[in-house]
Amino acid sequence: MSTFRIAIVGAGPAGYFAAQALQNSATEDRDFAIDMFERLPTPWGLVRSGVAPDHPKIKTVAKVFEKIATAGNFRLFGNVELGTDITAEQLQSHYDAVVISTGSALGRKLGIPGEGLFGSLSAADFVPWYNAHPDFADLEVPLDCDTAVIIGAGNVAMDVARMLALEPSELDSTDTADHAIAALRKSSVRQVYLCARRGPEHAAFTSPELRELPKLEHTNVLINKAQVTDAQVRLGEGAEKDVRSNLEAMSLIAGLEETHHERTMHLEFFLAPQEILGNGRVEEMVFGINTLVNGEIVPTGETRSIKCGLVISAIGYQAESIDGVPYKSGKIANVDGRIEGTNMYTVGWAKRGPSGVIGTNKSDASDVMKLLVGDLATQPKQESDLAQSLVGHRVVTQEGWEKINAAEVAAGELLNKPRRKESKADELLKMAGL
Ligand SMILES: Cc1cc2nc3c(=O)[nH]c(=O)nc-3n(C[C@H](O)[C@H](O)[C@H](O)COP(=O)(O)OP(=O)(O)OC[C@H]3O[C@@H](n4cnc5c(N)ncnc54)[C@H](O)[C@@H]3O)c2cc1C
Domain ranges, ordered by start, for the chain? 2-105+319-431, 108-316
CA–centroid distance, 91 to ligand 1, in Å, is 22
Please, are residues 32 and 23 in contact by the beta-carbon 8 Å criterion?
Answer: yes
348 lines ligand 1 (CB under 6 A): yes
- The alpha carbon of residue 117 and the mean position of all alpha carbons in its chain are separated, in whole angstroms, by 24
> What pLDDT does 236 receive?
84
Q: What is the pTM of this model?
A: 0.97
55 lines ligand 1 (CB under 6 A): yes
| Burial (CB count within 10 angstroms: exposed 0-12, middle 13-18, buried 19+), residue 269 | buried
Give the pLDDT means over successive 10-residue stretches in the chain (434 positions).
96 98 96 98 98 97 98 95 97 97 98 98 98 98 98 98 96 97 98 97 95 95 95 88 95 94 98 98 98 94 98 98 97 98 98 95 98 96 91 96 98 97 98 97
227 lines ligand 1 (CB under 6 A): no
Which amino acid is it at 356? G
- In ligand 1, the atom with minimum distance to the C-alpha of 355 is 19
Alpha helices in 300-359 (DSSP H): 349-352
Phi, psi of 154 (to 5 degrees): -120, -175
Please, are residues 155 and 127 in contact by the beta-carbon 8 Å criterion?
Answer: no
357 lines ligand 1 (CB under 6 A): yes
Gap between the Cα atoms of 206 and 428, Å rounded: 34
Alpha helices in 379-431 (DSSP H): 398-414, 425-431
Length of the chain: 434
152: left (phi over 0), alpha (psi -120 to 50) or beta: left
CA–centroid distance, 349 to ligand 1, in Å, is 7
Residue closest by Cα to atom 35 of ligand 1: 10
| Sign (positive or negative) of CA dihedral 72, 361, 60, 414 | positive
CA–centroid distance, 410 to ligand 1, in Å, is 25
CA–centroid distance, 246 to ligand 1, in Å, is 25
> What pLDDT does 237 receive?
81
Please, are residues 251 and 228 in contact by the beta-carbon 8 Å criterion?
Answer: yes
CA–centroid distance, 156 to ligand 1, in Å, is 12
Across the beta sheet with 263-268, the strand order is: 120-122, 310-313, 147-151, 191-195, 263-268, 219-223
> What pLDDT does 383 receive?
85
Please, are residues 54 and 158 in contact by the beta-carbon 8 Å criterion?
Answer: no
Q: What is the CATH number of domain 2-105+319-431?
A: 3.40.50.720
CA–centroid distance, 240 to ligand 1, in Å, is 28
Please, are residues 19 and 68 in contact by the beta-carbon 8 Å criterion?
Answer: yes
Residue 255, SS3?
Answer: coil
Residue closest by Cα to atom 53 of ligand 1: 50
Q: What is the CATH number of domain 108-316?
A: 3.50.50.60
- In ligand 1, the atom with minimum distance to the C-alpha of 83 is 41
CA–centroid distance, 292 to ligand 1, in Å, is 34
The helices-and-strands tally (H runs, E runs) of the chain is: 14, 19
Please, are residues 223 and 153 in contact by the beta-carbon 8 Å criterion?
Answer: no
Closest by CA to 15, choosing from 364, 389, 377, 320, is: 364
- In ligand 1, the atom with minimum distance to the C-alpha of 356 is 19
